[in-house]
């Protein structure tokens, strides 16, 4: 996919449209059939752990599937594994299915890389796509994002707000200049979020305090809340999370502590609207467009296995979306500063690291 193609796709899928696509989890591993009458393309989706209803990563992928269902003739089925060990089973079951025979199997999340690297060669005639990882097989389309670039932007925002102060909605900053990061599992992918966030903060002022914690799960709301509360109680003003449904706990903690949070993947001021008066912005990642593009490619017989599409700020693959409630309260000079840094990152003038230990 070239830049113009992706921009056109992003333009057709508004972030606002994702708000109603939160769905709801089925039983663990249960498949749901949305077959349509007549000839159709059959698509199976193996979601990341954490399931639908996370208001974040999985729901963003589901939004792309729902758009495809509305615009194309599809027969769809999905599974919500409860543990990464379930990924090989679901990938293989869909690949072996003959009723229907799936034209595309979509694998959502970096943790599916190793299972798919084993599964794809066993079924060379089956078409797969994967989000957040690269699998070097001729029957796999890979979609990756430069999450560190979008995270730099929200880090820049957090740095400016903790130093300048903010009191609006149901929250306010403190006298201290501290921000925090809460990750799900400590994976190279999530470390890209942390690295970009820290670099954005450092771009404002290297003396700003940053606390980082990993919960060890993308679906542990209680531990997310506990971790975030510890940070807020230590004087942290704003927490950015990259933790899937665990992030719901971060928002709960922000609400309890009267502080701010930054969402991820979807516009979480909409998908988690109960916490909108605490969510400053979200680092949106257009997994929905990657999903739609892969499905549309199969429908149009233009699937390109063995390829990897890499998307960053320059392609609008990642972007800062201000919160629906708090966005208007963020000073215009801060938004202007973010536009400037966005242009510098997109042009390469600012190089964003992917390893937090290098920041």
CATH number at residue 243: 3.40.50.2300
Range of the domain at 67: 3-145+286-314
- Reported confidence tier of residue 180, pLDDT bands at 50, 70, 90: very high
Judge whether 315 and 309 are in contact, CB under 8 Å.
no
Q: What is the mean pLDDT of residues 178-205?
A: 97
- Reported confidence tier of residue 316, pLDDT bands at 50, 70, 90: confident
Q: Residue 190: what pLDDT?
A: 97
Residue 345 lies in a domain: yes
Residue 264 lies in a domain: yes
Contacts of 174 (CB under 8 A, 6+ apart): 235, 237, 259
Q: Residue 11: what pLDDT?
A: 45
Distance CA 194, CA 151 (A): 7
Segments of 146-256 assigned E as strands = 167-168, 171-172, 178-183, 209-214, 238-242
Residue 320 lies in a domain: no
Residue 319 lies in a domain: no
- Reported confidence tier of residue 34, pLDDT bands at 50, 70, 90: very low
- Per-residue pLDDT tens for 118-132? 999 999 999 999 999
User: Do 116 and 155 belong to one domain?
Assistant: no
Length of the chain measured in residues = 359
Q: Residue 41: what pLDDT?
A: 95
Distance CA 322, CA 268 (A): 10
User: Do 21 and 116 belong to one domain?
Assistant: yes
User: Do 84 and 165 belong to one domain?
Assistant: no
- Reported confidence tier of residue 3, pLDDT bands at 50, 70, 90: very low
User: Do 202 and 185 belong to one domain?
Assistant: yes
pLDDT at 358 over 50: yes
3-state SS assignment for residue 158: helix
Tokens of 227: 């971790």
Judge whether 317 and 291 are in contact, CB under 8 Å.
no
C-alpha 277: how far from chain center: 21
User: Do 127 and 52 belong to one domain?
Assistant: yes
- Per-residue pLDDT tens for 138-152? 999 999 999 999 999
Residue 321 lies in a domain: no
Residue 24 lies in a domain: yes
**DSSP codes, 84-150:** GGGHHHHHHHHHH--TTPPSEEEEESGGGHHHHHHHHHH-TTS-EEEESS----TTEEEEEE-HHHH
Rounded to the nearest integer, the mean pLDDT of the chain is 90
Count Cα atoms within 13 angstroms, Cβ side, for 60.
30
User: Do 76 and 136 belong to one domain?
Assistant: yes
Residue 49 lies in a domain: yes
Q: Residue 20: what pLDDT?
A: 30
User: Do 153 and 243 belong to one domain?
Assistant: yes
User: Do 346 and 207 belong to one domain?
Assistant: yes
Count Cα atoms within 13 angstroms, Cβ side, for 294.
34
Q: Residue 209's beta-bridge partner residues?
A: 178
Judge whether 281 and 321 are in contact, CB under 8 Å.
yes
User: Do 207 and 333 belong to one domain?
Assistant: yes
User: Do 28 and 125 belong to one domain?
Assistant: yes
User: Do 185 and 280 belong to one domain?
Assistant: yes
User: Do 91 and 230 belong to one domain?
Assistant: no
Residue 258 lies in a domain: yes
Structural domains of the chain, count? 2
């Amino acid at each position: 996919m070239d830049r113009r193609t992706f921009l056109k796709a992003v333009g057709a899928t508004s972030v606002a449209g994702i708000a109603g696509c939160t769905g709801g989890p089925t039983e663990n591993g249960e498949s749901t059939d949305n077959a349509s009458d007549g000839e159709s393309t059959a698509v199976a989706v193996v979601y990341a752990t954490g399931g639908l209803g996370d208001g974040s990563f999985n729901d963003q992928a589901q939004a792309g599937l729902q758009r495809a269902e509305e615009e194309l003739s599809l027969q769809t089925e999905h599974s919500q594994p409860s543990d990464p060990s379930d990924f090989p089973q679901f990938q293989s079951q869909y690949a072996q299915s003959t009723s229907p025979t799936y034209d595309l199997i979509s694998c959502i999340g970096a943790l599916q890389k190793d299972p798919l690297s084993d599964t794809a060669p066993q079924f060379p005639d089956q078409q797969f796509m994967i989000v957040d990882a690269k699998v070097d097989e001729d029957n796999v389309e890979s979609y990756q994002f430069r999450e560190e670039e979008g995270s730099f932007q929200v880090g820049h925002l957090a740095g400016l707000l903790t130093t300048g102060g903010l009191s609006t909605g149901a929250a306010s900053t403190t006298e201290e200049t501290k921000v925090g990061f809460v990750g799900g599992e400590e994976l190279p992918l999530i470390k890209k979020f942390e690295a970009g966030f820290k670099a954005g903060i450092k771009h404002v002022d290297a003396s700003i305090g940053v606390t980082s914690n990993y919960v060890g799960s993308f679906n542990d709301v209680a531990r997310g809340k506990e971790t975030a509360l510890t940070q807020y109680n230590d004087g942290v003003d704003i927490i950015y999370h990259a933790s899937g449904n665990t992030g719901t706990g971060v928002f709960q903690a922000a609400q309890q502590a009267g502080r701010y949070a930054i969402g991820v993947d979807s516009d979480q001021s909409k998908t988690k609207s109960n916490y909108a008066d605490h969510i400053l912005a979200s680092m949106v990642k257009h997994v929905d467009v990657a999903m739609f593009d892969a499905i549309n490619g199969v429908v149009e017989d233009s699937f390109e296995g063995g390829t990897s599409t890499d998307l960053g700020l320059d392609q609008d693959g990642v972007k800062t979306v201000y919160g629906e409630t708090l966005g208007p309260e963020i000073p215009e000079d801060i938004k202007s500063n973010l536009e400037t840094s966005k242009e510098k990152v997109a042009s390469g003038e600012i190089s964003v690291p992917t390893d937090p230990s290098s920041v």
